[in-house]
């Protein structure tokens, strides 16, 4: 029995090459091939789009909320459904709901919700990102300082256990708070350790990478900066070839020139990838919401606490893609890879996510010629349409 489907009528980007007058063939949720339109099998169900382009679905590894829900405020299966659905309208087909620093009880609830979401096959859910609470107070950002603390044995065991039952787990920690031995244990259990909210020096950050940390959380933000005598976490992340780094490309969190310098400096198998760091406002007209009892206000393209501290980003993935193309002058092919292939690679999921080559999950975005989302598809099923 076959459920072969062909999708044509738009240019197709498979993550490396473009195809004109072609069709994406999908069977049982996976890409089988890209063929000339004239070669579409006669028994295939045909979907014909109205121009524009098909690109690999976006993969967002840092999503605090969406659709009016902040994951910290409601760490439940229902919240994960809502967050994933909210981001689908902006081209995101795979994401990690992200829990900002909170209590052990809330962390446990988030992990339980993630296990439920994996079992329920929630469209778009691919795991969790636990950002804190084992961070540096000096680089706390919007994280509640009263909840930041060192990692004890119970924390470590909880995270190791979670890494073994979740599809993917990123743990953001500070290199000076979580020692190399704990990082190694997390990595051996299957977690991806990311260095962030850290004031560590270059040597300390490199020791964390030696121990198995493989990522930096929102490069430049909430970390020690690149200096003339102390390269800091920024310098270590850029210097280490295998380390991947998320980037909030909204022109508010990081200066455009700094983004360009970082992209030119980063070499090796690790890449800089796009994240939204979005909060509950995504997909809504919310102007204010709460985090740990503090009000976050949405204004002028930013989210801030009352003291002006940035509190996540008022950003979605298609806007991040368009920002690096329009403001940085990045080649669109590379911008699409920053939103799809590179984040998938950062979590070791690039065999099935981030591209549209044979055997990949058939998750893609139909964009207009002006790069606006027309429809979003996960595993061959349309989950959102304009």
Catalytic residues: 277
Cα 240 to Cα 332: distance, rounded to the nearest angstrom: 26
For residue 69, report the phi and psi dihedrals to the nearest 5 degrees.
-115, 130
d(CA 168, CA 162): 9
Contact between residue 353 and residue 31 where contact means Cβ atoms under 8 Å apart: no
Which H helix or E strand runs over 18? strand 18-19
CA–CA distance, 214 with 195 (Å, rounded to integer): 8
Strand partners, 11: 53
Cβ neighbours around 4 below 10 Å, total: 14
Stretch (H or E) spanning 272:
strand 272-275
Q: Is 18 exposed, middle or buried (0-12, 13-18, 19+ CB in 10 A)?
A: middle
Asked if 96 and 62 touch (Cβ cutoff 8 Å), the reply is yes
Cα dihedral: 312, 343, 198, 172 (round 10): 90
Q: Distance between CA atoms of 73 and 294, rounded to whole angstroms?
A: 12
What is the spatial distance between Cα 351 and Cα 261, in angstroms, rounded to a whole number?
29
Give which of 204, 236, 241, 240 is closest to 220, Cα–Cα: 236
ω into residue 133 within 30 of 0, thus cis?
Answer: yes
């Amino acid at each position: 029995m076959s459920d072969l489907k062909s999708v044509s009528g738009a240019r197709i980007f498979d993550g490396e090459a473009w195809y004109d007058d072609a069709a994406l063939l999908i069977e049982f949720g996976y890409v089988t091939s890209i063929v000339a339109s004239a070669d579409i099998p006669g028994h295939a169900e045909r979907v014909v789009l109205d121009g524009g382009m098909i690109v690999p679905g976006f993969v967002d590894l840092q999503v605090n909320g969406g659709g009016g829900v902040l994951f910290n405020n409601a760490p439940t299966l229902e919240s994960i459904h809502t967050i994933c659905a909210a981001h689908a309208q902006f081209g995101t087909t795979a994401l990690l709901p992200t829990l900002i620093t909170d209590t052990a009880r809330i962390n446990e609830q988030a992990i339980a919700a993630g296990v439920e979401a994996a079992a329920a096959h929630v469209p778009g859910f691919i795991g969790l990102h636990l950002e804190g609470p084992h961070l540096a107070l000096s680089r706390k950002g919007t994280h509640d300082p009263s909840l930041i603390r060192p990692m004890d044995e119970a924390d470590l065991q909880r995270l190791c256990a979670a890494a073994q039952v979740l599809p993917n787990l990123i743990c953001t920690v500070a290199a000076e708070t979580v020692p190399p031995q704990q990082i190694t244990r997390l990595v051996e259990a299957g977690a991806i350790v990311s260095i962030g909210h850290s004031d560590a020096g270059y040597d300390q950050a490199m020791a964390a990478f030696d121990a198995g940390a493989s990522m930096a959380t929102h490069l430049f933000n909430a970390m020690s900066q690149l200096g003339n005598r102390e390269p800091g976490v920024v310098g270590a992340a850029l210097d280490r070839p295998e380390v991947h780094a998320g980037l909030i490309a909204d022109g508010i969190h990081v200066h455009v020139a700094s983004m360009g310098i970082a992209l030119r400096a980063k070499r090796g198998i690790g890449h800089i990838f796009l994240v939204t760091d979005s909060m509950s406002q995504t997909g809504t007209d919310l102007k204010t919401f709460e985090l740990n009892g503090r009000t976050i206000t949405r204004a002028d393209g930013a989210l801030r606490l009352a003291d002006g501290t940035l509190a996540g980003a008022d950003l979605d993935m298609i806007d991040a893609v368009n920002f690096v193309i329009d403001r940085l002058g990045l080649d669109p092919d590379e911008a699409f890879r920053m939103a799809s292939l590179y984040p998938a690679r950062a979590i070791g999921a690039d065999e099935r996510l981030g591209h549209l080559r044979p055997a990949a999950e058939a998750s893609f975005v139909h964009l207009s010629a002006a790069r606006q989302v027309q429809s979003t598809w996960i595993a061959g099923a349309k989950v959102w349409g304009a």
